[in-house]
């Protein structure tokens, strides 16, 4: 697609350019791909008598008179006549230009919502345009775009129009007819979506609609994505990794120190990983396993093989707390190896960090655990053999793909192992992770009891606290999770401290602490460890404890304002309990008035503990358009595809991608270039 700079588009100067950047638009191609979010139908004038209260309508009228009042508030009221019926038009905000439009005897076209006022029909703040006998009616639906302050719909429309008109026809290069794309090409699709002919029904051409133009975009984007994934896979195959087979001290060490027998499922997955590690092409494996299924032990078994060959392993966790926890369990698994295991996070003091970096470079550290800090530019590994990424759904695809080898020994690429607790159903993950092999841990360690889940309204909060206090006196440990919209909320409204104070006031003897994301790492650690060691009985927390915190003795979790969380997140939170052999309880505390979907989520959680099933139900409840919500943003870099809504195309595109990548390298590259340039980084291949 011929792409040109924004400056070449009439009407765009530096100022507008910067504003468009905020919309993620940096060239003409981005403008072409900036699709309308809705449409106005201004293709025919309507008769006002047929418009009812709240209808949107497009009418023409003649101005009779206007008056501008300043009290009780500023208002411009215009009386007009349309198809013989009186209509009054009201503006609470207006400028001199608008006053001129509504000159007596002018003919004006208005688009807006009709209201039945006290004295007849009204339109408040309609869009308006002065017309004469010759003014034509548009033949196309009028697109409405997402925009920013300072770039009006009209301006944005004209920029997009210019870009689409000057796009060039290089696109005809990408001809997919042979592959069953019988319909219209991309350029034609974009034209139809930006400027739909008046014969097209709005709902067909809107996102999710069934119009061939929409289908074309979706199918092509899916195909390009799959091709991107497959070509990543191919490139990896061609690159070299070290092969790890022989067992040494590290493996013996972990086998001796493992406090339990691995489950059949864990063993199966370990074997799959081991097999990959013996190969000389880099492993790219995803381990899916429900919360508490024991992914850490599996990952560390893999790590031991690499350390046994005196190579290095980097284990990356999404939060500092989780990194700390992994560090502690790693030390436990490899007793006697403490000096060769390190922790590196953004809160590691700089002196300490320098020391660690130096040791990494000298290969004196074999297993390093941390957060993103592990992959900053100046972190250089002597012989990095394996990268483990825990709870992958917390990282974006881009990051995942861009993780470079960072080996000073450039001849080899590290193996990749990714762990995730099934945020998405199997069918979808096959597509999203087409570049990976997938292993599934489908059983929990023995002796685990089903977590009992109940729900209650906020009015029972006091009673619940009373019962918690009693349970803690009997040896229970409990989490109390509060919903914050964002961690930064801690500063203003503070449900955490509020709940804490309430509990402290009524039960001063209950050992209770609270934790949230904006605390210093050191402090967080201390609090978590107090809880781990049983010093604290009740821990009030934000979702910072969502992943990874592992306190097997904890047997109660209360989730306050559970209606604010998504299913996947609730399940993940609930997974903080039921990690030992105690019978655990989860209490979902909700507001009195909750929506239908929130109520359904509660029912799903009460009904099952199975993460896979929850993921499936999640799809059903959320329905099209919502699956990749807040929790999962960044996972899938699609422009238009909605994996749930468009799941019917997935299988077909997977097959097609396999065919095209082996048949037509040029086409593959062109499609990847068109859809994924910038979002997939091949640096690691
Ligand atoms: P997740 O898959 O959620 O990351 P973890 O690796 O944190 O799970 O393991 C959850 C808990 O189960 C930990 O306390 C861990 O020590 C324990 N565990 C793991 N595997 C087994 C097993 N085979 N038998 C008993 N307990 C196990
Ligand atoms: Mg884990």
Sheet architecture: strand order including 384-389: 341-344, 367-370, 312-316, 384-389, 415-420, 284-289, 437-441
Res 562: pLDDT: 92
How, if at all, do strands 85-91 and 75-82 pair?
A: antiparallel
Candidate of 288, 290, 295, 297 to mutate for ligand 1, largest count of ligand atoms within 8 Å of Cβ:
297
Helix extents (H) in 239-386: 249-257, 264-278, 295-308, 320-333, 350-361
Token code pair at residue 509: 């003897």
Residue 433's DSSP bridge partners are none
- What CA–CA distance (Å, rounded) separates 635 from 393? 6
The residue contributing the CA closest to ligand 1 atom 26 is 445
142: left (phi over 0), alpha (psi -120 to 50) or beta: beta
Pick the closest to residue 356 from 347, 365, 369 (CA basis).
365
Do the beta carbons of residue 416 and residue 284 sit within 8 Å?
Answer: yes
| Percentages (nearest 5) of helix, strand, coil residues in the chain | 45, 20, 40
Token code pair at residue 109: 């076209």
Beta-carbon contacts of 612 under 8 Å, excluding residues fewer than 6 positions away, are 290, 422, 425, 426, 442
Closest atom of ligand 1 to CA, residue 579: 11
How, if at all, do strands 56-69 and 512-515 pair?
A: unpaired
DSSP 480-527: EE---SSGGGGGSS-HHHHHHHHHHHH-TTS-EEEE-TTS-HHHHHHH
Half-sphere exposure of 335 (CA within 13 A, CB side): 6
- What CA–CA distance (Å, rounded) separates 375 from 300? 19
Do the beta carbons of residue 404 and residue 681 sit within 8 Å?
Answer: no
Token code pair at residue 677: 């340039």
Token code pair at residue 64: 């009779």
The residue contributing the CA closest to ligand 1 atom 5 is 294
The residue contributing the CA closest to ligand 1 atom 24 is 445
Res 490: pLDDT: 43
Question: Could you tell me the distance, in angstroms and rounded to a whole number, from the CA of residue 588 to the centre of ligand 1?
Answer: 24
- What CA–CA distance (Å, rounded) separates 680 from 277? 25
Closest atom of ligand 1 to CA, residue 261: 23
Question: Could you tell me the distance, in angstroms and rounded to a whole number, from the CA of residue 296 to the centre of ligand 1?
Answer: 7
| 3 state SS of 61 | strand
Residue 514's DSSP bridge partners are 540
Please name the residue that has the structure tokens 């304002």. 561
Closest atom of ligand 1 to CA, residue 263: 23
Please name the residue that has the structure tokens 């004038």. 45
Low-confidence ranges of the chain (pLDDT < 50): 395-405, 487-492, 624-635, 681-685
φ/ψ of 491, rounded to 5, equals -70, -40
Closest atom of ligand 1 to CA, residue 297: 6
Question: Could you tell me the distance, in angstroms and rounded to a whole number, from the CA of residue 579 to the centre of ligand 1?
Answer: 7
Res 409: pLDDT: 60
Question: Could you tell me the distance, in angstroms and rounded to a whole number, from the CA of residue 296 to the centre of ligand 2?
Answer: 6
- Produce one character per residue of 607-618: b if its CB has 16 or more CB atoms within 10 Å, e if not: eebbbebbbbbb
Closest atom of ligand 1 to CA, residue 262: 23
How, if at all, do strands 437-441 and 312-316 pair?
A: unpaired
C-alpha to C-alpha distances, 72 to 67, 95, 121, 203, nearest whole angstrom = 14, 19, 22, 42
- What CA–CA distance (Å, rounded) separates 335 from 329? 10
Beta-carbon contacts of 228 under 8 Å, excluding residues fewer than 6 positions away, are 672, 675, 676, 680
Question: Could you tell me the distance, in angstroms and rounded to a whole number, from the CA of residue 1 to the centre of ligand 2?
Answer: 44
Closest atom of ligand 1 to CA, residue 295: 2
Candidate of 264, 268, 294 to mutate for ligand 1, largest count of ligand atoms within 8 Å of Cβ:
294
Beta-carbon contacts of 108 under 8 Å, excluding residues fewer than 6 positions away, are 60, 61, 62, 63, 80, 101, 102, 128, 129, 130, 131
Question: Could you tell me the distance, in angstroms and rounded to a whole number, from the CA of residue 271 to the centre of ligand 2?
Answer: 19
Distance, C-alpha 448 to centroid of its chain:
31
Closest atom of ligand 1 to CA, residue 296: 6
Token code pair at residue 278: 């013996």
Residue 128's DSSP bridge partners are 110
Residue 112 burial (CB count, 10 A): 19
C-alpha to C-alpha distances, 150 to 14, 378, 454, nearest whole angstrom = 13, 41, 50
Candidate of 296, 423, 552, 553 to mutate for ligand 1, largest count of ligand atoms within 8 Å of Cβ:
296
Token code pair at residue 500: 């804490």
- The ligand 1 site (C-beta within 6 Å) comprises 260-263, 266, 289, 291-297, 421, 445, 550, 552, 579
DSSP H or E segment with residue 101: helix 96-101
Question: Could you tell me the distance, in angstroms and rounded to a whole number, from the CA of residue 394 to the centre of ligand 2?
Answer: 12
Ligand nearest to the CA of 550: 1
Question: Could you tell me the distance, in angstroms and rounded to a whole number, from the CA of residue 391 to the centre of ligand 2?
Answer: 7
C-alpha to C-alpha distances, 262 to 3, 70, 446, nearest whole angstrom = 55, 79, 10
Q: What does DSSP assign to residue 365?
A: -
Q: What pTM, to 2 d.p., does this model score?
A: 0.72
Sign of CA dihedral 559, 565, 567, 571: negative
Question: Could you tell me the distance, in angstroms and rounded to a whole number, from the CA of residue 629 to the centre of ligand 2?
Answer: 22
Token code pair at residue 156: 């944005």
Do the beta carbons of residue 292 and residue 575 sit within 8 Å?
Answer: yes
DSSP H or E segment with residue 30: helix 28-33
417: left (phi over 0), alpha (psi -120 to 50) or beta: beta
The residue contributing the CA closest to ligand 1 atom 4 is 295
Sign of CA dihedral 293, 296, 300, 303: positive
Question: Could you tell me the distance, in angstroms and rounded to a whole number, from the CA of residue 652 to the centre of ligand 2?
Answer: 34
The residue contributing the CA closest to ligand 1 atom 20 is 294
Residue 331 burial (CB count, 10 A): 16
Radius of gyration of the chain (CA): 30
Question: Could you tell me the distance, in angstroms and rounded to a whole number, from the CA of residue 419 to the centre of ligand 2?
Answer: 8
- What CA–CA distance (Å, rounded) separates 263 from 670? 46
- What CA–CA distance (Å, rounded) separates 515 from 309? 40
């Amino acid at each position: 697609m011929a792409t040109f700079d924004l400056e070449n588009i009439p009407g765009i100067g530096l100022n507008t350019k910067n504003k468009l950047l905020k919309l993620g638009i940096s060239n003409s191609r981005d403008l072409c791909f900036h699709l309308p979010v809705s449409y106005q139908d201004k293709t025919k004038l309507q008769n006002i008598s047929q418009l009812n209260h709240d209808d949107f309508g497009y009418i023409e009228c003649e101005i009779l008179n206007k008056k501008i009042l300043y009290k009780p508030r500023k208002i411009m009221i215009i009386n007009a006549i349309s198809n013989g019926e009186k209509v009054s038009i009201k503006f609470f905000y207006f400028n001199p230009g608008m006053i001129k439009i509504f000159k007596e005897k002018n003919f004006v076209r208005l688009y807006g919502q009709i209201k039945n006022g006290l004295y007849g029909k009204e339109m408040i703040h309609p869009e308006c345009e002065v017309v004469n006998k010759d003014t034509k009616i548009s033949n196309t639906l009028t697109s409405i775009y997402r925009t920013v302050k300072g770039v009006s719909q009209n301006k944005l429309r004209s920029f997009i129009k210019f870009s689409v008109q000057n796009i060039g026809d290089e696109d005809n290069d990408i001809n997919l007819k042979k592959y069953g794309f019988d319909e219209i090409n991309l350029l034609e699709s974009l034209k139809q979506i930006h400027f739909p002919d008046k014969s097209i029904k709005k709902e067909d051409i809107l996102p999710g609609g069934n119009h061939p133009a929409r289908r074309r975009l979706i199918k092509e984007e899916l195909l390009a994505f799959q091709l991107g994934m497959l070509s990543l896979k191919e490139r990896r195959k061609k690159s070299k990794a070290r092969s790890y087979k022989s067992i040494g001290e590290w493996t013996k060490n972990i086998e001796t120190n493992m406090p339990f027998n691995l489950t059949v499922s864990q063993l199966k997955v370990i074997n799959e990983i081991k097999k990959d590690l013996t190969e000389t092409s880099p492993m790219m494996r995803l381990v899916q396993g429900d919360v508490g299924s024991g992914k850490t032990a599996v990952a560390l078994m893999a790590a031991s093989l690499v350390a046994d060959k005196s190579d290095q392993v980097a284990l990356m966790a999404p939060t500092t707390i989780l990194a700390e926890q992994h560090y502690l369990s790693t030390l436990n698994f490899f007793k006697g190896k403490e000096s060769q295991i390190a922790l590196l996070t953004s809160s590691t003091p700089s002196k300490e960090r320098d020391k660690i970096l130096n040791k990494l470079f000298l290969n004196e550290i074999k297993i390093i655990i941390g957060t993103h800090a592990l992959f900053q530019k100046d972190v250089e590994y002597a012989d990095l053999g394996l990268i483990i990424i825990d709870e992958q759904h917390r990282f974006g695809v881009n990051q995942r793909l861009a993780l470079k080898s960072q080996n000073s020994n450039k001849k080899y690429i590290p193996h990749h192992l990714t762990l995730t607790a099934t945020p998405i159903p199997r069918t979808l993950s096959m597509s999203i992770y087409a570049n990976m092999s997938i292993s599934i841990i489908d059983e929990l360690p023995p002796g685990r009891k089903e977590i009992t889940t109940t729900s209650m309204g906020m009015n029972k909060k006091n009673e619940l606290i009373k019962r918690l206090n009693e349970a803690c006196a009997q040896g229970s440990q409990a989490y109390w999770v509060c919903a914050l919209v964002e961690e930064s909320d801690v500063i203003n409204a503070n449900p955490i401290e509020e709940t804490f104070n309430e509990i402290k006031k009524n039960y001063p003897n209950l050992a209770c602490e609270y934790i949230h994301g904006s605390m210093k790492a050191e402090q967080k650690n201390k609090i978590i460890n107090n809880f781990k060691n049983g010093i604290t009985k009740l821990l009030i927390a934000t979702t910072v404890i969502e992943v990874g915190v592992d306190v097997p003795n904890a047997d109660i979790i209360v989730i306050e304002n559970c209606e604010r969380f998504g299913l996947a997140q609730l399940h993940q939170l609930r997974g903080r309990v039921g990690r030992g052999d105690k019978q655990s309880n989860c209490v979902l505390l909700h507001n009195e008035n909750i929506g239908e979907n929130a109520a359904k989520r509660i029912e799903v959680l009460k009904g099952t503990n199975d993460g896979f099933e929850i993921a499936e139900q999640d799809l059903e409840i959320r329905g099209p358009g919502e699956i990749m919500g807040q929790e999962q943003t960044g996972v899938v870099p699609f422009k238009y595809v909605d994996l749930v809504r468009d799941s019917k195309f997935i299988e077909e595109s997977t097959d097609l991608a396999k065919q095209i990548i082996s048949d037509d390298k040029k086409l593959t590259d062109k499609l990847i270039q068109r859809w994924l340039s910038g979002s997939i980084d091949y640096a690691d291949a």
